[in-house]
């Protein structure tokens, strides 16, 4: 082969390999969804409660956020990222999801998605009477305002294309039981059986998903209940001296989740073009509790903040002693998971999402 032909052949090979590498890189880094939209409670609230909401459920103070950049509390009920942030990162959308009520949102924030969740919220409006949070079923009002701004940035057609293809995460429900049904007689009088109250909540959830669909959402993941009886605050509230999980409350969670798993495919079948996924939170958390060493956890019965038995929100504050080994704690405060826990759950959900949408 002549020298000139050798040079041309070499350049061809180099160019081809470069193009192949770029294609592989783009396939790896290109987001699966153009945006991420979050609804629910404190498990996914990235700071909406910091703004004009008359609630005591805020996390805009240390030690919350101690493992975020600059150790800055943002309103996230954790030492670091939430499950929703982990998912946004895994899906190559963004590192942190801003709260919609944040006053200085950029156009890029809007384009790639925001959070509408409110700590203390539930599907039952009466839950928010106690917490003064934004009820889950009122969060679409913020979403409508978001849509108006999005249309102002990219126009009506492109805006709806983004919303149609966005990934939507809904995480709520525990507050309806922890802060409402289990502790208030009024709900027991109307719904004597826990199964009746579960059905009421699930009907509210169904209406909520249908409204999101009517506003353009098509790819929706709905979280089930965690093992409520294993939350440190519940073991404390029931004066559980041995700090073992409350079996009845866990059984309630299991029954609710079974109903939800049956309901979601029915909702999907009724909403043309939708993909609705169930996020199994219960089993991973129970696995972490029962096989803590496998995940690097040394403490699963109390939170990292203060005594870990009761502290949360304003009770978890700058005066509360905080554990130094946060990655070894399943819970950061008495109800909310640590960033280490969120990472594990986020990884599990990421695989589930990719299995459904890349298939």
Catalytic annotation, residues: 42, 333, 336
Query: Per the structure block, which two tokens stand in for 305?
Result: 């903040």
Q: Which residue has tokens 């240390």?
A: 62
Handedness of CA 69, 67, 281, 194 (dihedral sign): negative
Query: Per the structure block, which two tokens stand in for 231?
Result: 């939350």
Dist CA 52 CA 175 (whole Å): 21
> Do the Cβ atoms of 96 and 45 come closer than 8 Å?
no
Dist CA 92 CA 34 (whole Å): 9
Dist CA 48 CA 156 (whole Å): 26
Handedness of CA 259, 260, 261, 266 (dihedral sign): positive
Query: Please, what's the largest Cα pairwise distance for the chain?
Result: 93
Dist CA 130 CA 179 (whole Å): 8
DSSP 48: G
Q: What are phi and psi of 114, to 5 degrees?
A: -140, 175
């Amino acid at each position: 082969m002549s020298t000139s032909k050798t040079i041309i052949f070499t350049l061809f090979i180099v160019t081809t390999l470069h193009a192949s590498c770029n294609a592989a890189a783009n396939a790896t880094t290109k987001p699966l969804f153009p945006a991420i939209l979050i609804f629910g409670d404190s498990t996914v609230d990235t700071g909406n409660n910091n703004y004009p909401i008359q609630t005591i459920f805020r996390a805009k103070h240390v030690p919350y956020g101690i493992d975020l950049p600059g150790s800055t509390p943002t309103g996230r009920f954790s030492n670091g990222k939430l499950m929703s942030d982990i998912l946004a990162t895994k899906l190559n959308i963004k590192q942190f999801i801003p709260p919609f009520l944040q006053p200085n949102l950029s156009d890029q924030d809007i384009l790639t998605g925001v959070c509408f969740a409110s700590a203390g919220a539930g599907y039952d409006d009466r839950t928010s009477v106690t917490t003064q949070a934004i009820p889950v079923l009122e969060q679409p009002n913020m979403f409508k305002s978001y849509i108006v701004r999005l249309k102002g940035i990219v126009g009506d057609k492109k805006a709806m294309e983004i919303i149609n293809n966005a990934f939507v995460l809904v995480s709520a429900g525990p507050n309806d039981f922890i802060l409402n049904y289990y502790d208030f007689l009024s709900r027991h009088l109307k719904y004597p059986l826990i199964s009746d109250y579960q059905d009421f909540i699930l009907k509210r959830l169904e209406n909520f998903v249908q409204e999101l669909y009517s506003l353009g959402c098509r790819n929706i993941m709905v979280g089930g209940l965690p093992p409520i009886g294993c939350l440190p605050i519940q073991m404390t509230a029931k004066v559980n001296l041995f700090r073992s999980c409350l079996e009845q409350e866990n059984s309630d969670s299991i029954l609710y989740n079974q109903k939800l798993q049956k309901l979601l495919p029915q909702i999907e079948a009724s909403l043309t073009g939708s993909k609705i996924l169930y996020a199994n939170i219960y089993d991973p958390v129970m696995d972490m509790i029962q096989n803590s060493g496998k995940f690097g956890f040394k403490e699963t019965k109390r939170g990292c903040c203060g005594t870990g038995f009761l502290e949360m929100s304003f009770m978890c504050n700058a005066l509360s002693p905080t554990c130094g080994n946060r990655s070894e704690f399943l819970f950061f405060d008495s109800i909310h998971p640590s960033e280490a826990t969120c990472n594990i759950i986020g990884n599990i959900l990421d695989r589930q999402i990719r299995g459904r949408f890349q298939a």
